Chains A and B, each alone.
Chain A
Amino acid sequence: MSAKITVTSTEYIQHHLTYLHLNLKNFTLTNGGFWTLNLDTLFFSFVLGVAFLYFFRKVAVRMTSGVPGKLQNFVEVIVEFADSQVKDCFHGRSELIAPLALTIFVWVFLMNFMDLLPVDLLPRIAGMMGIPYLKVVPTNDLNLTFALSLTVFVLIIFYSIKIKGIGGFVKELTLQPFNHWAFIPFNFLLEMVGLIAKPISLSLRLFGNLYAGELIFILIALLPWWIQWPLGWMWAMFHLLIVTLQAFIFMVLTIVYLSLAHEDH
């Protein structure tokens, strides 16, 4: 009896942690190693991103400098929040950083928020439509968090080179923190670790938080029904904080990294 339950629990969890794979080699829904697309991650992130952009674009088109409506107020609050964060950290002028911060904040928040949907709701519906696996929360896919952080990483390197020049960037990597030729290899090692730690920590932090949150929801779903409600409610309340906080942290760190890239020593 207990063995059977353990097996079903494990199966349940594993089922929940499996992506809807699309093998790019033969276009079947199997895991084909590296050349595989996680259709669920792609789908949900795309839908949420488009929803965010559609909504904001709709408000932006009807934007008035007079008395704003409620919808416009809402959007303005978010935009000004992102803008003030950028202005606090970043002192140069950039057309990219503030929209980037806004996109990250809202998009990541929306994707994190999918975690608060009941864990079984969408996979069950998908199951009825014949889709075997569905992972609803895009941000607990390492592919997505790394995609974000690697894009930010590319921007860090791009701006470092653009502002300081290749020479300046190389100098920053090799002549800090000890400004002596003998320390160049040591400096380089240190700075490289620091540089590469940025995208890795950025993506793993988001992934870890959301993955843990999702897992706890799955575990709560395995408990008897009468304890599911209070625990699920409590964890959802707590997770609401995490969801917002992680989106905020991702945004702020992106701004900080990019402003560091802009700073000339």
Chain B
Amino acid sequence: MNINATLFGQMITFILFVWFTMKYVWPPIMKALEERQAKIADGLSAAERGQRELELAQEKVIEQLRAVKQQAAEIVDKANKRATQIIEESKEQAKVEGRRQLELAQEDIQQHITSAKNELRKNVVSLAMTGAERILGREVDKNESAKLIEDLVGEL
């Protein structure tokens, strides 16, 4: 257990070991650790940036969505208005058309009435002629009386 020359040998060994660690072991390990630290810091800041960008994009999306909704509402509104307008126009047109149809029908009816009257007149003439013939018992000069009756009928 005495102190002897081993002391010097051990000191030299120790110094060599420390020198080797200092020169060849410590720097590469520390370099890698620092690099990783930098990488992680970069990654974290990138993640933060990404987060911020995401938030920004979300805000933008919400804004755009709102604008689009507004636009859509406007379009629907316009369409509704247009639809009512079209309905009103159609109603109007239908009324006009109805009136026209009515007029046509009335004209038609009038025409029918006129033609019926004429027919009736003719029939009345011949009926009267026949009736008169029967009453008189002889042939009535058709031409003469026809004129007469026609005048009569015309008075009807």
Given contacts A33-B4, A80-B33, contact A42 B10 (CB under 8 A): yes
Name B28's closest neighbour in chain A (CB-CB): A60
Name B16's closest neighbour in chain A (CB-CB): A49
Q: Which residues of A contact B33 (CB under 8 A)?
A: 65, 76, 79-80
Name B32's closest neighbour in chain A (CB-CB): A63
Name B40's closest neighbour in chain A (CB-CB): A65
Q: Which residues of A contact B11 (CB under 8 A)?
A: 147, 150-151
A115 in the interface, Cβ–Cβ < 8 Å? no
Contact A63 B31 (CB under 8 A): yes
Name A52's closest neighbour in chain B (CB-CB): B17
Contact B6 A41 (CB under 8 A): yes
Contact A146 B4 (CB under 8 A): no
Residues of B within 8 A of A (CB-CB), count = 31
Q: Which residues of B contact A96 (CB under 8 A)?
A: 18, 22
Partner of A61, one of B5, B9, B28: B28
Q: Which residues of A contact B3 (CB under 8 A)?
A: 34, 142-143, 146
Docked Cα-Cα span, A221 to B10, in Å, equals 30
| 14 other A-B residue contacts (CB within 8 Å) besides A65-B39, A147-B11, A150-B11 | A33-B4, A34-B3, A34-B4, A36-B4, A45-B10, A63-B29, A63-B31, A65-B36, A79-B26, A98-B26, A100-B21, A144-B10, A147-B13, A151-B11
What are 30 contact pairs spanning A and B, CB under 8 A?
Answer: A24-B5, A35-B4, A35-B5, A36-B2, A37-B4, A37-B5, A41-B6, A42-B9, A53-B17, A53-B25, A56-B25, A56-B29, A59-B29, A60-B25, A61-B28, A65-B33, A75-B29, A79-B29, A79-B30, A80-B33, A98-B26, A102-B26, A103-B18, A103-B21, A107-B14, A144-B10, A146-B3, A147-B7, A147-B14, A150-B7
Name A residues whose Cβ lies closer than 8 Å to a Cβ of B.
17, 24, 33-38, 41-42, 45-46, 49, 52-53, 56-57, 59-61, 63-66, 75-76, 79-80, 83, 95-96, 98-100, 102-103, 107, 141-144, 146-148, 150-151
Name B residues whose Cβ lies closer than 8 Å to a Cβ of A.
1-11, 13-15, 17-18, 20-22, 24-26, 28-33, 35-36, 39
